[in-house]
C-alpha cells in the first residue's frame, strides 16, 4: 500500500505540472485557433478530474478541499464550453456526483445530497437513464450513511426499477 500511495503522489505531481502548463497556455490563447483553445479546455478539464480523483483516492481529509476545487474548476470549464467535450457520459452529472463523493467521505450528507439531486435533475433533463441509475445508487448509499433508512429504501427501489428498465432496453 505504501508503494501505491507513492505512485499516487507521483501522479499528483505530474498532473499538477500539467495544470501549470495549461495555465501558461491560457496566456497565449489570443494567438490560438478555436480548435486549439477547445483542446486546451478539454485537457484542463481532464486534468482537473484526474487530480480530484487522486486527491480523494489518497484519502487525506486535508486533500478533499483540493479535490472539490478541482471538480468545481472542471464544472466551470464545462459550463464555459460544453461543446469541447464529445463524451458519451453526461459530464455535468458526472462532475456533480464526483463532488458529492467528496462530501460523502467528509460525512457532509446534506451537501452531498444537494449535489446528487442537481446531478439527477441534469440526467433527467438529458434523458440519460444510465447516469440516472448510477446517481440513484450513490444517493441511496449517501442516505444509508446518513442513517436515513426509509428514504434510502425508496431511492434504491427507484434504482432497481430503472435498472430493470435499462436491462430490458439493452437486451432488445
In angstroms, rounded to a whole number, what is the distance separating the alpha carbons of residues 148 and 145? 8
Chain centroid to Cα 18, Å, comes to 19
- Residues shown for the chain: 172
- Residue 35, pLDDT score: 83
- From the CB of residue 54, how many other CB atoms can be counted at a distance below 10 Å? 20
User: pLDDT tens digits for the chain (172 residues)?
Assistant: 556 677 888 888 898 898 889 888 888 888 888 888 888 888 888 888 888 888 887 776 777 788 888 888 888 887 777 666 655 557 788 888 888 988 888 889 999 999 999 999 988 888 888 889 999 999 999 999 999 999 999 999 999 999 888 888 767 6
Q: Which three cell numbers stand for residue 135?
A: 446517481
CB 122 within 8 A of CB 114: no
- Residue 49, pLDDT score: 83
pTM for the predicted model, two decimal places: 0.71
In angstroms, rounded to a whole number, what is the distance separating the alpha carbons of residues 30 and 169? 47
- From the CB of residue 28, how many other CB atoms can be counted at a distance below 10 Å? 10
Q: Which three cell numbers stand for residue 122?
A: 441534469
Amino acid at each position: 500500500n505504501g508503494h501505491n500511495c507513492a505512485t499516487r503522489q507521483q501522479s499528483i505531481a505530474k498532473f499538477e505540472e500539467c495544470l501549470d502548463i495549461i495555465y501558461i497556455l491560457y496566456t497565449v490563447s489570443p494567438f490560438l485557433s478555436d480548435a486549439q483553445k477547445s483542446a486546451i479546455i478539454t485537457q484542463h478539464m481532464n486534468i482537473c478530474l484526474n487530480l480530484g480523483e487522486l486527491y480523494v483516492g489518497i484519502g487525506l481529509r486535508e486533500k478533499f478541499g483540493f479535490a472539490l476545487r478541482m471538480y468545481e474548476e472542471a464544472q466551470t470549464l464545462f459550463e464555459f464550453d460544453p461543446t469541447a467535450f464529445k463524451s458519451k457520459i453526461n459530464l455535468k452529472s458526472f462532475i456533480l456526483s464526483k463532488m458529492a463523493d467528496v462530501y460523502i467521505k467528509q460525512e457532509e450528507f446534506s451537501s452531498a445530497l444537494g449535489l446528487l439531486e442537481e446531478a439527477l435533475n441534469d440526467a433527467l433533463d438529458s434523458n440519460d437513464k444510465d447516469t440516472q441509475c448510477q446517481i440513484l445508487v450513490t444517493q441511496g448509499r449517501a442516505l444509508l450513511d446518513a442513517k436515513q433508512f426509509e428514504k434510502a429504501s425508496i431511492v434504491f427501489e427507484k434504482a432497481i426499477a430503472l435498472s430493470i428498465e435499462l436491462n430490458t432496453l439493452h437486451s432488445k
